[in-house]
Structure 1
Amino acid sequence: MKFERSLFQKGSFKDADIQIEYWKSKSYSERLEAAMEMTKLAFGLVGREFPKMEKKLFSINSRDGKHIQ
C-alpha cells in the first residue's frame, strides 16, 4: 500500500477556517465515515475493503507475563 500524495494539495488559512466550520456542523458518525473514505482514497482503496491485518505479526503480553495471541 502506498500513500497517493498527488490527491492532496496545500490550502490557505481561510480555506482551513471554512473547513473547520463545515466539519463542526457534522455529526461524529458523519465525520468518521468521511475520514474512512478519505483514508481509502489516499491509499487507493476506493471500492474495496481494507486489507486484513496479519495477526501473526503482533502479540500481547498480559500483566502477569503470559503471552496472549
Structure 2
Amino acid sequence: MDKSISSSGSFKEAEKAKRFNSNDTLSERLQQSWYLTCMAYGIDHNTPPKMEKKLFSVRKHTQ
C-alpha cells in the first residue's frame, strides 16, 4: 500500500499546515489569495489583465 498519497495527523498539525495562517498579516493573506485566484483563472500574477474601458460608460441619470 502506497502511503505517500495520504497521511494522518492531529487537528493541531492540520491547523499549523493551513495555507492562511492567522499569524500572517492582512497584506500577506491578500497576496496569497491573489496568487491562488490567478492560478485558478490562469492569469499571470505579476501582470494582471487591464480592464476593458471601451465597454463601460457613465451617463447622468435624469428624473
- TM-score bracket, normalised by the shorter chain, equals 0.5 to 0.7
**Structure (1 or 2) with the larger CA radius of gyration:** 2
Mark the CA change 1:28 to 1:48 in structure 2 (over 3 Å): closer, same or farther.
closer
Q: Which amino acid aligns with 1:55?
A: K
For these two proteins, the number of residue pairs brought into alignment is: 48
Q: Which amino acid aligns with 1:54?
A: E
Superposed CA RMSD in Å reads: 2.9
TM-score by length of 2: 0.52
What is the aligned counterpart of 1:40 among 33, 38, 47?
Answer: 38
Q: Which residue of 2 aligns with 1:54?
A: 52
Q: Please, which runs of 5 or more residues in structure 2 have no aligned partner?
A: 1-10
Which structure dedicates a bigger proportion of its chain to helix? 1
The one-character-per-residue Cα deviations of 1:16-52 (angstroms, maximum 9, x if unpaired) are: x723872x21101001111111111111124651111
CA distance in 2, matches of 1:20, 1:48: 20
Q: Which residue of 2 aligns with 1:25?
A: 23
Q: Which residue of 1 aligns with 2:4?
A: none
CA distance in 2, matches of 1:21, 1:53: 28
Q: Please, which runs of 5 or more residues in structure 1 have no aligned partner?
A: 1-13
Which structure dedicates a bigger proportion of its chain to strand? 1
